[in-house]
Structure 1
Amino acid sequence: MLSELERDALAELGNIGIGRASTALGRMLGGLVTLSVPSVEMVPPADVAGLLDRALSPPLVGISEKLGGLFAGCALLVFPQAGSMVLVRAALPPDVSAEDASEMEDEVLAELGNVVLNSALALVANLLGEPVETGLPAVSRGRAAEILQGCAGPVGTEGAADDAEGAAVLFHVDLRTTLPGGGGAAVGGRMVLLLDTDSAGALQATLGRYIGRLVA
């Protein structure tokens, strides 16, 4: 488990990465986007489903990407399904009909999740001086346990979602958008890193080196 100093360092890195993701997402949505990371915690993988269901109220939408490199495992962006269409409508031109928007929902959500996850993880990995590899985004729905099944067999691992000795890092994310026409939306969610055993240990060691550079 992370020490208080390691947790603070990871939270700060998350804030920096999410700040970059906010800028990229704002360009995609054509308005101001704020993605805040008020807290971060590392928990056993078995606890993740219950934590997500209690915090976000199913049914949920998850966008997952399998990872290699520093974060070998899987990354997830999860939020209540009730907020998904709000984000989809914001990403599409105003003249797109409700029917067409519904048909394009998964495609748009995959792209939104890809922008957030890739922007944030790439910057954090760069700050830590380690590489990260990302796969293609996939969209799933249901309770948290069903969404987590999409993380089986990530890049370069045997399956971090099923690794009882691995770890899960949860970033508590509040997403707010302000659109040019004056509309706005607030969607609470979580960004989750499911790491295999080796990657959990490597992340902690990398955080230690990062902290050492800061205080040197």
Structure 2
Amino acid sequence: MTAAPMLSELERDALAELGNIGIGKASTALGRMLDGLVTLSVPSVEMVPPDEVAGLLDRALAPPLVGVSERLGGLFAGCALLVFPQGGSLPLVRAALPPDVPADDVPELEDEVLAELGNVVLNSALALVANLLGEPVDTGLPVVVRGSGAEILRRCAVVAPAIMAEAGAGGAAVLFHIDLRTALPGGDGVVVGGRVVLLLDAGSAGTLQATLGRYIGRLVA
């Protein structure tokens, strides 16, 4: 099993703060997009070796899972994921669609809506974090994938094969624990637990730690 970079308590706190701010920005973007029908909670955060991620996702969220995957470039090289239980996907899709869409039409629109939701969440959060860190972060097009944690992660190997081939050798995974809360007309609603996952190669894991150090330095200066 590979070892993730060791973060100091101050670095972990800074990462959690950045995640909090980034997910808050994503929640605001979703609120504008969906008239407040889906919001995101404040996350907790952990950094683990990449080879532990599949098991953590399966234990925390219970397969089958739905993941929205995007390639990462710029400051960080790797793959970004929004993952949640498949059973929670339809309430999210219903909240995103106009109320006059027939229920029978919802399943065939599911992947398109999930890709858009994932794109809004990941890009809003990453754009704000990049701005706070003063470094660019690029993302690719969103792709929806279903299955176990291992099957979700295999999609990252397709999205960024060279990066993921190196991720086990000194790479790291950052997991933000989130709750997606839906509120539908008529009072229906549900809380869907999920994870935002950043899978980083060894160079990007080191860059993250160094960038956190500079961010902390600016705060305490």
TM value normalised by structure 1: 0.95
2:167 to 163, 166, 182: 163
Task: Give 1:89-108 correspondences, 5 Å limit.
Answer: 89-108=94-113
The answer on whether the counterparts of 1:68 and 1:154 sit within 8 Å (CA) in structure 2 is: no
Q: Which whole-Å CA distance do the structure 2 matches of 1:11 and 1:69 have between them?
A: 21
The answer on whether the counterparts of 1:173 and 1:191 sit within 8 Å (CA) in structure 2 is: yes
Q: Give the Å deviation of 1:124.
A: 0.3
Q: Which whole-Å CA distance do the structure 1 matches of 2:20 and 2:152 have between them?
A: 25
The residue identity in structure 2 corresponding to 1:125 is A
The answer on whether the counterparts of 1:140 and 1:150 sit within 8 Å (CA) in structure 2 is: yes
Unaligned runs of 5+ in 2: 1-5
Question: 1:142-201: per-residue Cα shift (whole Å, max 9, x none)?
Answer: 10100001111556x722365212100000111112345433221000000000110000
Q: Which whole-Å CA distance do the structure 1 matches of 2:43 and 2:121 have between them?
A: 17
- 76-85 or 172-181: which moved more? 172-181
Unaligned runs of 5+ in 1: none
Within the alignment, does 1:121 sit opposite 2:131 as a pair? no
- 142-151 or 20-29: which moved more? 20-29
Q: Which whole-Å CA distance do the structure 1 matches of 2:104 and 2:76 have between them?
A: 38
Counterpart of 1:37 in structure 2 is 42
The answer on whether the counterparts of 1:50 and 1:144 sit within 8 Å (CA) in structure 2 is: yes
The answer on whether the counterparts of 1:31 and 1:180 sit within 8 Å (CA) in structure 2 is: no
Q: Give the Å deviation of 1:39.
A: 1.3
Counterpart of 1:110 in structure 2 is 115
Counterpart of 1:178 in structure 2 is 183
Question: 1:110-148: per-residue Cα shift (whole Å, max 9, x none)?
Answer: 000000000000000110000011100000001010000
The answer on whether the counterparts of 1:66 and 1:136 sit within 8 Å (CA) in structure 2 is: yes
The answer on whether the counterparts of 2:66 and 2:89 sit within 8 Å (CA) in structure 1 is: yes
Task: Give 1:1-216 correspondences, 5 Å limit.
Answer: 1-152=6-157, 154=159, 158-160=162-164, 163-164=167-168, 165-216=170-221
Q: Give the Å deviation of 1:32.
A: 4.6
The answer on whether the counterparts of 1:166 and 1:198 sit within 8 Å (CA) in structure 2 is: yes
The residue identity in structure 1 corresponding to 2:40 is L
Q: Give the Å deviation of 1:71.
A: 2.0
Question: 1:67-108: per-residue Cα shift (whole Å, max 9, x none)?
Answer: 101121100000000000000011111111222211110000
The residue identity in structure 1 corresponding to 2:172 is A
The answer on whether the counterparts of 1:30 and 1:179 sit within 8 Å (CA) in structure 2 is: no
Q: Which whole-Å CA distance do the structure 1 matches of 2:158 and 2:75 have between them?
A: 16
TM value normalised by structure 2: 0.93
